[in-house]
Structure 1
Amino acid sequence: MTVEKTYVIKGEPESEWLLLDASGQSIGRLAAQIANYLLGKHKPNYTPGVKMGDFVVVINCSQLAISPKKMTTKFYYRHSGYPGGLTTTSLKEMMRTYPDRVIKSAVWGMLPHNSHGRELMKRLKLFAGNEHLHDAQNPKRVN
């Protein structure tokens, strides 16, 4: 029986700033790509459970390519904690009011639901329009 050794990175891993354009992309494929960048799975020295991913800036969240059927059949749910406190919002209404939350919800579903995932979500910066506030970090554009 052979024992495989697990690679553990030494020191603090370096993080880059990446810029993604969401215009014309589908929600799921974009969210999977963002989740991989946040987790650091695109790096050759990836180690699970280590914050070695990059900061991701997403622009044009309001210009996602969504089919008309999905706009009316997909719903987002939240509950206030009180009896009868379930609130339902359609994808169409969510894209009209908060288009960044659509991507945020999809990416959160692809990350670990623990403290590590919550730390990774802080590295995601979403903007509905073409402008973003992170020019000082010189984000590298990703196709």
Structure 2
Amino acid sequence: MDTLSYKTISANKETAKKEWVVVDATDQVLGRLCAKVAKILRGKYKPCYTPHVDCGDNVIIINADKVQLTGKKWTDRVYLNFTGYPGGQRELSPAFLMKKGESKLFKRVLKGMLPKNKLGAQLLRNVYIYAGSEHPHAAQTPKTIDINTLK
């Protein structure tokens, strides 16, 4: 038996096949949607997944203004920021972040689901969030996926 055929192949920056996908956020629950988007950004749905390499896809989220939160989380959930100064702790609600822009809320949630290192910061740059159903990335020929079919 040829034991050389059992070599583990590790993906790198050159061999990673990155694609563009479009995800529709209409009537999706924010946390569940972002958990699946984080897995797509990481590349965990691909057979060539390598933990230390950016081998995930670029994700375009459309209709981000139509995302849902269950219960009273729009007002009761609290995100904390600290400015670094005494008395500089700030409390933000999802409703406030959504008013400042959909991308602020989505990036805040996605950042917590990605690795806390340089790779996580690089992966966060691969997501594009738009309030409407139009996006300027038609030249990349993205494919539309149904986020509900992913586990």
Is the TM value for this pair above 0.5? yes
Q: Is 1:91 aligned to residue 94 of structure 2?
A: yes
Residue 18 of structure 1, CA deviation: 0.4
Cα displacement (A) at 1:116? 0.7
| Alignment deviations for residues 95-115 of structure 1 (CA, whole Å, 9 cap, x no partner) | 223222222111111110000
1:133 aligns to 2:133 (yes or no)? no
For residues 15 and 35 of structure 2, the distance between their equivalents in structure 1, rounded to whole angstroms, comes to 25
After TM superposition, the structure 1 = structure 2 runs for residues 11-90 of structure 1, keeping only pairs within 5 Å, are 11-90=14-93
Q: 2:11 aligns with which of 6, 9, 12?
A: 9
Contact 2:102 2:129 (C-alpha < 8 Å) held by counterparts: no
Check the 8 A contact 1:62/1:100 in 2, yes or no: no
Q: Which runs of 4+ in 1 moved over 6 A?
A: none
CA contact (8 A) 1:79 1:85 kept: yes
- Show structure 1 runs of 5+ residues with no match: none
Find the aligned partners of 1:29 and 1:124 in 2 and give their Cα distance.
Answer: 16
Letter in 1 for 2:55: M
Q: What secondary structure is seen at the aligned counterpart in 2 of 1:109?
A: helix
Call closer, same or farther: CA 1:93–1:9 in 2, change over 3 Å. closer
Aligned AA (1:23) = T
| Residue correspondence of structure 1 range 116-127 to structure 2 within 5 A | 116-127=119-130
Q: Contact 1:23 / 1:64 at 8 angstroms: preserved in 2?
A: yes
Task: List per-residue Cα deviations over 1:10-49 (Å, max 9, x = no partner).
Answer: 6431100000011100111111111111111111121111
Gaps of 5+ in 2: 1-5, 147-151
SS in 1 for 2:109: helix
* Contact 2:11–2:55 under 8 Å retained in 1: no
Identity of aligned residues (%): 39
1:68 and 1:47 mapped to 2: Cα distance? 37
Aligned residue-pair number: 140
Helix, strand or coil at the partner of 1:105: helix
Deviations 1:61-108 (A, max 9, x none): 111122351112112222221111222121222222322222211111
Question: What is the TM-score normalised by the length of structure 1?
Answer: 0.89
